[in-house]
């Protein structure tokens, strides 16, 4: 039996493994593998490219996590009580600010300006959004416990 040789990007994002069987996850992994391979060809292992590759790999793995985990599910709704303690009110306000920033970033990511950014800069912004979403999820869980 002949073993199929995988590219570096395919190996890094484990394109042959998809626990969910989701076509969306499969497409995402293939896209990220192609981006990693393209970045690798363009940068030729310079120091800057090593950092960019690390960011790309992190983005790929985090994206798979988001698509296959509980974070892909709709966030539960929560009710804000009127009698919040000061530190609890700050958490609610922080979430509102974070939601607004995420919305603005997501809107920016649909613009021509974003499309014109270099790939490593786009990856960093996608990473930033993914971490903001995870942070918002944590804040929502905290608020539900008030």
pLDDT-above-70 percentage for the chain: 51
- One domain, residues 2 and 39: yes
- One domain, residues 60 and 95: no
**Arithmetic mean of pLDDT over the chain:** 75
Containing structural domain, residue 145: 76-146
- One domain, residues 59 and 23: yes
146 has a pLDDT exceeding 90: no
- One domain, residues 51 and 97: no
pTM (2 d.p.): 0.48
- One domain, residues 67 and 54: yes
- One domain, residues 63 and 98: no
> For position 26, what pLDDT does the model report?
72
Give the list of residues 6+ apart from residue 68 with CB closer than 8 angstroms, or none.
Answer: 19, 20, 22, 25
Q: What is the band of 44 on the pLDDT scale with cuts at 50, 70, 90? A: low
- One domain, residues 113 and 88: yes
As for how many domains the chain has, the answer is: 2
Residue entry with tokens 């042959």: 16
As given in the structure block, the two tokens for residue 49 are: 């490219």
Give the list of residues 6+ apart from residue 15 with CB closer than 8 angstroms, or none.
Answer: 6, 26, 29, 30, 33
């Amino acid at each position: 039996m002949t073993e199929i040789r995988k590219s570096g990007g395919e190996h890094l994002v484990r394109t042959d493994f998809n626990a969910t069987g989701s076509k969306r996850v499969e497409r995402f992994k293939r896209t990220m593998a192609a981006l990693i391979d393209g970045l690798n060809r363009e940068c030729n292992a310079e120091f800057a490219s090593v950092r960019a590759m690390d960011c790309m790999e992190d983005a790929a793995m985090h994206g798979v996590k988001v698509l296959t985990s509980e974070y892909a599910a709709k966030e539960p709704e929560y009710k804000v009580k009127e009698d919040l303690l000061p530190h609890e009110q700050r958490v609610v306000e922080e979430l509102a600010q974070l939601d607004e920033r995420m919305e603005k970033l997501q809107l920016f990511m649909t613009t021509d300006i974003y499309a014109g950014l270099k790939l490593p800069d786009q990856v960093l912004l996608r990473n930033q959004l993914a971490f903001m979403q995870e942070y918002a999820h944590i804040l929502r869980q905290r608020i539900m416990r008030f």
